[in-house]
Amino acid sequence: MILNERLISCNTCQGSQILWNLEGFMRIVNLCILLWSFVQAGSFFDRIIAKGHYSERDAAKIFGEIVNVVHACHFMGVMHRDLKPENFLLSSKDEGASLKATDFGLSVFIEEGKVYRDIVGSAYYVAPEVLRRSYGKEIDIWSAGVILYILLSGVPPFWAENERGIFNAILQGDIDFESQPWPSITNSAKDLVRRMLTQDPNKRITSAQVLEHPWIKDGGADRPIDSAVLSRMKQFRAMNKLMKLALKVIAENLSEEEIKGLKAMFTNMDTDKSGTITYEELKTGLARLGSKLSEAEVKNLMEAVSNRGT
């Protein structure tokens, strides 16, 4: 049933050109395979970082495409439930390439009047009502709001050393608009972030209202965003890639018990709070888990992440 719903929701949303193409479906005995279009163009983070300079207007253009995805899903009666930057890929390497949404693995059809209770999504982007186990499609607006905060500041709005801490910060709902670069960000942009990250889902702005917001309609201010945002964004992207790659590589070398603590370990591994993980920090963190990886293997892991993160 879950697979059938996923196939239907993907095909339903595919009517929008901003959603990634499901090319086909194969069933081999009890194995089901989804065939998607292949892309090597990377994410919008890659585009921003490669460009080397960045403005609110650039952020507004990218974010407008993201909200169009949310609006298309909701219009078609689909709740994505796992919106995050990694799930938006460039359609090509061309300068003006559009964004495409992918990974509808947690998406569901929205049933009128139904209250959803299962906890889903990725820690930084989870809406407070998901943690309270009572939510609807408004959670996609929250997640998109987190993406907008990252686009404008380079870091997520709710941050902690472990997943529990992140969830507590989300439930508390304090949003930092005082630290750099926020004093130089326009009030219109900050207003949109606030409306999207409203704790009460009933008072939260809708996807249609986001598209009508002045910051989106006017295309954002043509003023540069602090260059430090690009550096933070690059560090945040590299850290996410490191965690993913390490999980994949190390899982083959760790016991089941060690794997349970792997995610928490990586959030604590950045001991100097620099936003990046050094070779020594990685080696020390792995040693705490009793990893059997050799120094050469740890170095290879770091090199692999560096090559993918530049």
Domains of the chain listed by start with CATH number: 2-15+39-225 (1.10.510.10), 228-309 (no CATH)
Using the predicted structure, report yes or no on whether residue 177 has a pLDDT greater than 90. Answer: yes
CB 189 within 8 A of CB 220: yes
Long-range contacts from 280-289, C-beta under 8 angstroms, 24+ separation: 282/242, 282/246, 286/250, 289/254, 289/258, 289/261, 289/262, 289/265
**Whole-number CA gyration radius for the chain:** 20
Q: Does residue 82 carry a catalytic annotation?
A: yes
pLDDT at residue 198, as a whole number: 98
Picking from 27, 241, 6, the residue whose alpha carbon sits closest to that of residue 102 is: 6
Across 128-134, average pLDDT: 96
Using the predicted structure, report yes or no on whether residue 145 has a pLDDT greater than 80. Answer: yes
pLDDT at residue 162, as a whole number: 78
Residue 237: DSSP 8-state: H
Highest mean pLDDT among 97-111, 128-142, 212-226: 128-142
Top-confidence residue, 101 or 14: 101
Catalytic residue among 82, 140, 226, 270: 82
pLDDT band per the 50, 70, 90 thresholds, residue 17:
very low
Across 230-243, average pLDDT: 71
Across 227-234, average pLDDT: 80
Burial pattern 280-292, b for ≥16 Cβ within 10 A else e, equals ebbbebbeebebe
Using the predicted structure, report yes or no on whether residue 79 has a pLDDT greater than 80. Answer: yes
Beta strands 78-79 and 88-90 are unpaired
Q: d(Cα 139, Cα 5) in Å, to the nearest integer? A: 19
pLDDT tens string 23-57? 444 343 444 444 445 455 567 777 777 776 789 99
Place of tokens 């994505």: 80
Using the predicted structure, report yes or no on whether residue 130 has a pLDDT greater than 50. Answer: yes
pLDDT band per the 50, 70, 90 thresholds, residue 142:
very high
Top-confidence residue, 171 or 113: 171
Top-confidence residue, 79 or 35: 79
CB 94 within 8 A of CB 103: no
Q: Measured in whole angstroms, how far is the alpha carbon of residue 103 from the centre of its chain?
A: 11
Q: Measured in whole angstroms, how far is the alpha carbon of residue 205 from the centre of its chain?
A: 20
pLDDT at residue 24, as a whole number: 42
The packing angle between helices 187-196 and 138-153, to 10°, is 150
